[in-house]
Amino acid sequence: MLDRRIAVAPMMKYTDRFYRYFIRLIAPHAVLYTEMVVASALSYQDPQRWLAFHPSEHPVALQLGGCDPALLAKGAKLGEDFGYDEVNLNVGCPSERVASGRFGACLMQEPELVAACVHAMQSAVTIPITVKCRIGIDEYDAYTYLHGFIERVSHAGCKVFIIHARKAWLSGLNPKENRTIPPLQYEVVRQIKRDFPQLTIILNGGIITVAQVAAHLLDVDGVMMGRAAYSNPYLLAEIERQLFATNGIRSREEVVQLFLPYAQEQLDKKIKLGRLTRPILGLFHGQLGALRWRRYLSEHAHYAEAGIEVIQQALSLVG
Ligand SMILES: Cc1cc2nc3c(=O)[nH]c(=O)nc-3n(C[C@H](O)[C@H](O)[C@H](O)COP(=O)(O)O)c2cc1C
């Protein structure tokens, strides 16, 4: 299993640098993805705001959204200069706002454009450019279509594909529905791996247990987890312990103790406590005291004067 990859999915408004710092305390090897950063935003806003991350986050990938090869190449170069280990192009996000900007999942209809974007990005950097996509969108949902898409984009220089194993309906379903209603079709992703053995294929969608991860890793090169890694972050520790025999996995309490000085540093930089406690709410998921932990943090972290003693107090209520 050691050559297999575990990744935490890009999630807008969730996988910010605070969450990623916290996850790294739990899972030493998981590849972490930023929220999607719109490539054009990097041209007219301070990139530091979007791209800054903590050195402990490595390996960490920057996810970009966009469809302009030149802007994406510029964004990828900035990402490389900031020290990211990978730049990922979002070809899977189905939100309307994104479709109107002609990026995200709607790009699956335009393999030539995606190929041009990947080529421009890969020519600008030495780190890998990867693509996150769906198995199809709307009427473009035949296996042969996906096969042709992967073939075209891989020829443009992408060697790693993260495939969310469900199609997206761009009209008719909202983004949330598009993450639940179209059925998961893992076999499609497995078939892509069989047809492109030279590519690295990461499977995404609906994975919530260690056993599921273990089963998928027999067929593909890695798995990416989104919602479960947020609601139950310690699952990643169990995956490392059980499947990768990682030594030195920290207990939940040790994770909290190590998070405290980081939280204090962030508070000193005027970050609000609520932004720091939100990612840690699920740490005790399934444990005795999980509700007390979550409730205490939720009720106390938003006060203007709230400091790390709120986290310490919540910890004392667990167990
Ligand atoms: C709140 C939320 C925000 C998301 N934002 C992004 C995003 O910015 N870029 C992206 O490629 N996918 C995004 N996704 C999709 C996830 O990366 C992932 O593909 C999806 O949740 C399926 O994986 P899961 O079943 O393990 O959660 C988002 C998902 C959620 C729940």
d(CA 174, CA 294): 29
For residue 226, the CA-to-ligand 1 centroid distance in Å is 6
d(CA 95, CA 214): 31
Judge whether 219 and 193 are in contact, CB under 8 Å.
yes
Start-to-end Cα distance in the chain: 33
Q: What is the structure's pLDDT at 96?
A: 64
d(CA 161, CA 118): 12
Q: What is the structure's pLDDT at 304?
A: 87
Q: From first to last of the 319 residues of the chain, give the pLDDT tens digit.
A: 557 899 999 999 999 999 999 999 999 999 999 999 999 999 888 899 899 999 999 999 999 999 999 999 999 999 999 999 999 999 998 876 666 677 899 999 999 999 999 999 999 999 999 999 999 999 999 999 999 999 999 999 999 999 999 999 998 899 999 999 999 999 999 999 999 999 999 999 999 999 999 999 999 999 999 999 999 999 999 999 999 988 999 999 999 999 999 999 999 999 999 999 999 999 999 999 999 999 999 999 999 899 999 999 999 999 7
What DSSP assignment string belongs to 156-199? TT--EEEEESS-B-TTTS-TTGGGTSSPP-HHHHHHHHHH-TTS
Place of tokens 């190929």: 115
Q: For the purposes of burial, counting CB atoms within 10 Å of the CB of 41, is it exposed (0-12), middle (13-18) or buried (19 or more)?
A: middle
Return the best residue to mutate from 8, 11, 33 for the ligand 1 pocket (most ligand atoms within 8 A of CB): 11
Judge whether 33 and 8 are in contact, CB under 8 Å.
yes
d(CA 108, CA 115): 11
Pocket of ligand 1 (CB under 6 A): 9-12, 14, 35-36, 63, 90, 92-93, 132, 164, 179, 204-207, 225-228
Q: In ligand 1, which atom is closest to the CA atom of 88?
A: 11
Instruction: Give nearest CA residue, ligand 1 atom 28.
Output: 11
Place of tokens 């593909």: 220
Model-level pTM? 0.97
Q: For the purposes of burial, counting CB atoms within 10 Å of the CB of 242, is it exposed (0-12), middle (13-18) or buried (19 or more)?
A: middle
Q: Which two tokens stand for residue 75?
A: 């964004």
Q: What is the structure's pLDDT at 2?
A: 55
Judge whether 221 and 193 are in contact, CB under 8 Å.
yes
Q: What is the structure's pLDDT at 99?
A: 61
Structural domains of the chain sorted by starting position, each given as residue range(s) with its CATH number in brackets: 5-244 (3.20.20.70), 252-316 (1.20.120)
Q: What is the structure's pLDDT at 30?
A: 97
CB burial readout 277-288, b (16+ within 10 A) else e: bbbbbbbbbeee
Q: What is the structure's pLDDT at 172?
A: 87
For residue 274, the CA-to-ligand 1 centroid distance in Å is 22
d(CA 255, CA 236): 13
Measured in degrees and rounded to the nearest 5, phi and psi for residue 65 equal -120, 140
Q: For the purposes of burial, counting CB atoms within 10 Å of the CB of 305, is it exposed (0-12), middle (13-18) or buried (19 or more)?
A: exposed
Judge whether 1 and 244 are in contact, CB under 8 Å.
yes
d(CA 266, CA 262): 6
Instruction: Give nearest CA residue, ligand 1 atom 4.
Output: 11
d(CA 4, CA 223): 8
- Reduced to 3 states, what is the DSSP secondary structure of residue 309? helix
Of 109, 111, 94, nearest in space to 36 by CA = 94
Q: What is the structure's pLDDT at 97?
A: 67
Active site residues: 93
Q: What is the structure's pLDDT at 4?
A: 85
d(CA 65, CA 143): 25
